[in-house]
Amino acid sequence: MDNLQNSVWDKASEKLKQSVAAMPVGKESKIRDLIGEVTWTPLERKTRHRLGKHVRANLDHYGLVFVRKAGSIAVYKKSTV
């Protein structure tokens, strides 16, 4: 990843943490919906994929739990722990 994508990744990661904190318990959502189109759009496809893998590997860090797959897209909800 280049420096621009690193910066965009950091913004997306921070936005995801903020959105999860404000998210009601039990609501299901995709990462794209949580961070919003403004934050999602600058991410290159490769970076989006890496972000998804990073979130999946670090669910506790983001306060999420995996719920199901909607096609090939993972759906998460806020962790109650």
Q: Provide the pLDDT for residue 3.
A: 73
- Does residue 51 carry a pLDDT above 90? yes
State the total domains in the chain. Answer: 1
User: Residue 26 sits in which domain range?
Assistant: 3-78
Q: Provide the pLDDT for residue 81.
A: 72
d(CA 48, CA 9) in angstroms, rounded, equals 8
Q: What is the mean pLDDT of residues 56-71?
A: 95
Q: Return phi, psi of residue 4, to 5°.
A: -65, -45
**Residue keyed to tokens 């909800």:** 77
What number of CA atoms fall less than 13 Å from residue 78's CA on the CB side? 14
- Does residue 22 carry a pLDDT above 60? yes
**The pTM is what?**
0.87
- Does residue 64 carry a pLDDT above 60? yes
* Radius of gyration for the alpha carbons in the chain, expressed in angstroms and rounded: 12
Q: Provide the pLDDT for residue 45.
A: 93
**Residue keyed to tokens 């999860």:** 20
CATH number at residue 37: 1.10.10
